[in-house]
Amino acid sequence: MKTFNLIIILGALFLASCENDPGIEPSKETFLPKIELIGSDDVSLPCGSTSFTDPGVNASENGAAVTPTVTITPRYFGSSQINGADVYDISYVAINVDNIPGATFRTVSIYPCNGDMVTNIEGVYSSTVVRTSAAGAVLTGPQYTNMKYVLIKKSGANTYQISDVIGGWYEFGRALGPAYAAPGATITANNIAANDFTYGDAATVGGFGGAATLTGFTVDAANKQIVMSSDWEAGFSFVATLTQVN
């Protein structure tokens, strides 16, 4: 009983000191934003699609509806709106009266339609990559085999964009995600059958930085394959064998 009384006395003294201390604010109840997706969190649209009708979310704070901020982030090709082939990450964020955020996410994938690889190299490819260091050390293995996917998107009459000029080595092989891809490299097909291509600007290897430059691009239409070579200024070269997939 003595111990119980002592706890009560100390508790009362603490509460009294808090009431007299302007630097201590009593706690208050806060309601976190509640955001629920309508529909799936992972959507795949048919190749050739150019738009997505977002079913949206149900968002509320303490039972009252709120309007979240919606942001669309493309992984590879740079459009801030869903507009053709790419993988898009959509975030829905609401902030309550105490500036505490709540969020949910959706992924929308639109894959390029596969070309015939004679007149059109657009498409979806698995990737097997060999990396060589400046010192000549070669690295490959199961984790860098049949990685999914490298996308080639047609952006003009004879111009294409590549989702990852190093073939998914860091994004998929090292499982670091799309922030470590080297997207956006362009290539112009002067004559696909003759393997006559003109390379555009270098891509930047995300996460690590540094330019990765295309050095070779050979199409084997009979086997539905492309061998793509690139050099990264960090001191590595990559040879990716891309195999078209359905």
Cα–Cα distances (Å) from 164 to 93, 108, 151, 217, 243, in that order, read: 29, 18, 8, 13, 14
For the cut 80, the answer to whether the pLDDT of residue 9 exceeds it is no
In a domain, 144, yes or no: yes
In a domain, 173, yes or no: yes
Domain count, the chain: 2
**197 and 218 co-located in one domain:** yes
**92 and 128 co-located in one domain:** no
pLDDT at 13: 34
pLDDT at 29: 79
- Give the residue numbers spanning the domain of 138: 123-244
In a domain, 13, yes or no: no
**127 and 230 co-located in one domain:** yes
In a domain, 87, yes or no: yes
In a domain, 152, yes or no: yes
pLDDT at 23: 57
In a domain, 191, yes or no: yes
In a domain, 66, yes or no: yes
In a domain, 9, yes or no: no
Q: Mean pLDDT, the chain, as a whole number?
A: 90
**137 and 240 co-located in one domain:** yes
**55 and 130 co-located in one domain:** no
31-72: pLDDT as tens digits:
889 999 999 999 999 999 999 999 999 999 999 999 999 999
97 Cβ partners below 8 Å, 6+ apart?
A: 30, 61
